[in-house]
Amino acid sequence: MSTPKKKDWKTKLPGCFGIVDLKFALHPLDEERAKQMMKLAFKSGASIDDVLSAVADYLDSKGAKRRHIEEQLEYARKLKFRA
């Protein structure tokens, strides 16, 4: 099996969010995609800080408010331990 490319995991990030509400891994399918994305990220050498930064950047690019971003980052931190 080939080693994942360093940034491949970032292509999985949009599938981890609700399309309308931009909530991270709230729906069971989004949660499963988020766990897989995190596993791929960690396997490719990314840290939790790299993942959280990518989550924040994605939400910011979608126009999310700061409070919403912070709430989603907190959830992502907790999900890391279940990934």
Joined tokens for residue 52: 């959280």
Its domain, for residue 28, covers 8-80
- Specify the pLDDT at position 58: 98
Task: Tell me how far CA of residue 80 lies from CA of 11, 20, 23, 28, 65, in angstroms.
Answer: 18, 23, 16, 15, 23
Q: Is residue 39 part of a domain?
A: yes
Q: Is residue 3 part of a domain?
A: no
Joined tokens for residue 6: 């360093």
**What's the domain count of the chain?**
1
Q: Is residue 62 part of a domain?
A: yes
- % of residues, the chain, pLDDT over 90: 86
User: What confidence tens digit (pLDDT) does each residue in 52-63 have?
Assistant: 999 999 999 999
